[in-house]
Structure 1
Amino acid sequence: MTTAVRWNVGKPHRCPECHAVAIDMEAPKSWRIYTCCRCATRFTRWPTLAFVLPHTGVRCTEHHTPKES
């Protein structure tokens, strides 16, 4: 499992690595781990707690697939 990085506090909907809009389906929630649709970076508000946080996956309308929860 790859580790998660901390999201940008000012723009939590954007990937902290490539700055793509990775969350446009919902308001970003600090207790979830998101995956960037462009570079596959996993990010969250609390990366040190990543081992207990649920992984939400890709949450952009362009790349989201129904099998993701």
Structure 2
Amino acid sequence: MSVVRWNFDKRHRCPACHAVAVDIGRPVSWRVYTCCRCAARFARWPRLAWLLPEAGIRCSEHRPA
């Protein structure tokens, strides 16, 4: 699955479906996040995603136990 660039004005929202995907802490530019609604992966630098650590789902409602 490819990684897309996050929204610069609303980093906590998924760029694909606009769900609040990161509400546990502030999004940091050196991680790859996964949307809890549509499973889209997004990061500040999508071309470097293979080097960045995976943050996974960071939504308090849908995070894995």
Question: Is TM more than 0.5 here?
Answer: yes
How do 1:1-69 and structure 2 match up within 5 A?
Answer: 2-66=1-65
Deviation string 1:10-35 (CA, Å, 9 cap, x unpaired) is 00000000000000001000000000
Deviation string 1:38-66 (CA, Å, 9 cap, x unpaired) is 00000000001001001110000000113
**TM-score between both structures, scaled by the size of structure 1:** 0.91
Please list every run of 5 or more consecutive structure 2 residues that lacks an aligned counterpart in the other structure.
Answer: none
Structure 1 ranges of 4+ moved more than 2 A:
none
**TM-score between both structures, scaled by the size of structure 2:** 0.97
